[in-house]
Structure 1
Amino acid sequence: MTQRTFADLHHADEPLLLPNAWDHASATALAAQGFRAIGTTSLAVAAAVGLPDGAAATREQTLLLALTLGSEPFRLSVDAEGGFSDDPDAVAEFARELHAVGAVGINLEDGLGAVDRHAAKIAAVRAAVPGLFVNARTDTHWLGDGEGTIRRLDAYRQAGAHGVFVPGLTDAREIAALVGHLGDVPLNVLYSPTGPSVPRLADLGVRRISLGSLLYRRALGAAVETATDIRAGRAPGGPAPTYEGIQALSRAAGGAGDATASSG
């Protein structure tokens, strides 16, 4: 059987559930659980170096993460904010760099900026890197009241977007209506613990479900909770991978590590 491409995964029998990683260990640990593709999360990339998310400040860090992950056997889609430039040619060049290191998808957000400008970025990426899956995100629900969603998505798919992403969209009737409007263009939504479940989203016709920064935020929350529990004299709860388990995720597994090989 021919291996499915990343694009094929958006048209399979079940939606593509895309967990978003922030480093090599998180990505490979998720892939080991059988996830068919891994995304990155721009919030974590920015937070790790003390920079703001969505401010076009992490082009170098995003490319470095793609370089780290792109040679792994899983399919990699990169959250590239708005492409780190208002110049469509510069965005296309960044997309070329991502594809060259192994990325198969790119997520480009409009941040409620000019529709024509975002459409031009999409068209430039499609022309420069035909093999890269372009997921076009609109922030009408995340940063606004949902007004203009269809107009923006129509412009982006006409520019060549393979799929469209509407984070913040959780109303089942709105999701179903948008799926019907888009036809064969796959709709991506952001999973929300207070929104429809994954099976319900599948029933509504959603083709891609992203976890965004949720895993990173929960990991950070668990780390802080563990530290404060220990300080308070409580034994920390919840699962934790072993030192050896984390070492096994590394391409350089088998190194000396620290002297105790236990405390990390």
Structure 2
Amino acid sequence: MTRFAALHHRAEALLLPNAWDHASARALAAQGFSAIGTTSLGVAAAAGLPDGAAGTRDETLRLALTLGRGPFLLSVDAEGGFSEVPEEVGEFARQLAVVGAVGINLEDGLAPAARHAAKIAAVKSAAPGLFVNARTDTYWLGGHDRRAETLARLDAYQQAGADGVFVPGLTDPAEIAALVKHLDVPLNVLCSPSGPTLTRLTDLGVRRVSLGSLLYRRALGAALQAVAEVREGRAPHGPAPTYDDVQALSG
């Protein structure tokens, strides 16, 4: 078992913050986070591209190259793998592993489950040591019977070799507990301000809690709040690293 995989099998759930550039990743590492993910929304927005449209393959690989040798374990949000051809997704995963990534997050976007399972299998073949977190969007994009669709998809992804599964939008404690009992691999959920706390999720059996695009969106919100306060003649509130603090993150 790799060091990153082992973090998914502890008594306490792994809290995985998501960075969007070098500075944000190094700042999170300085706060004691030994594992950091990337956020596809942050990467896409920084490049002026839409998220989830398979248009940020180069940007994602470039960021992984920048972060892969950092003082933390890196998991990369790769949308749907930037291709519908499983072998091409496997090759992209191999390139991520070469530059130092230890994990990859692959979302199905409710594409056919068999196709996503084939992508997972291709990644495990091309980069056996890479932790594959297989995401299903049933609770974001699904129809009426989300639970049955979720179980069917996650069963297929487990059988294809996924090391963990991710169900963003799942917040009901009873449904989370039932899914944990059903699974053979660790369950990842997305942190929700209105959902269970990290402690409660741990008690329910969740083993990984991702922040997704939350930090990027909060940072953007803080910037807009600060400029609004200055425009209104008020001093901006909230913490801000100094120029030297940010400079120290580079190198």
TM over 0.5: yes
The one of 105, 122, 125 equivalent to 2:123 is 125
Distance 1:201 1:142 in 2: 19
Displaced runs of 4 or more, over 2 A: none
SS in 2 for 1:164: strand
Shift of 1:74: 0.3
Distance 2:63 2:13 in 1: 26
The one of 59, 62, 65 equivalent to 2:60 is 62
The question of 1:101 aligning with 2:99 is answered yes
The one of 51, 54, 60 equivalent to 1:53 is 51
Distance 1:23 1:51 in 2: 15
Distance 1:171 1:18 in 2: 20
- 1:71-97 deviations in Å (ceiling 9; x for gaps): 112000000000000000000000011
Distance 2:175 2:195 in 1: 12
Amino acid at match of 2:150: T
The structure whose residues are more often helix, as a share, is 2
What does 1:163-242 align with in structure 2 at a 5 Å threshold? 163-183=164-184, 185-242=185-242
Amino acid at match of 1:225: Q
SS in 1 for 2:31: coil
Identical residues among aligned pairs (%): 73
Distance 1:138 1:25 in 2: 30
Shift of 1:49: 1.2
Give ranges in structure 1 of 5+ residues lacking alignment.
252-264
Distance 2:95 2:124 in 1: 14
Amino acid at match of 1:149: T
Shift of 1:26: 0.3
Amino acid at match of 2:97: H
Distance 1:90 1:4 in 2: 24
Amino acid at match of 1:175: I
Contact 2:20 2:43 in 1 (8 A): yes
Contact 2:93 2:127 in 1 (8 A): yes
Q: Quick one: higher RCO (CA 8 Å, sep 6+), 1 or 2?
A: 2
Distance 2:235 2:154 in 1: 50
Distance 1:216 1:143 in 2: 22
Shift of 1:4: 6.8
Distance 1:151 1:32 in 2: 40
Aligned residues: 248
The question of 1:153 aligning with 2:151 is answered no
Structure with greater Cα Rg: 1
Amino acid at match of 1:177: A
Distance 1:240 1:73 in 2: 23
Distance 1:54 1:222 in 2: 25
CA root-mean-square deviation: 1.1
- 1:132-172 deviations in Å (ceiling 9; x for gaps): 00000000001124240000000000000000000000000
Name 2:37's counterpart in structure 1.
39
Distance 1:42 1:4 in 2: 24
Distance 1:64 1:78 in 2: 11
Contact 2:2 2:129 in 1 (8 A): no
What does 1:134-145 align with in structure 2 at a 5 Å threshold? 134-145=132-143
- 1:164-218 deviations in Å (ceiling 9; x for gaps): 00000000000000000004x1000000000000000000000000000000000
- TM-score normalised by structure 1 residue count: 0.92
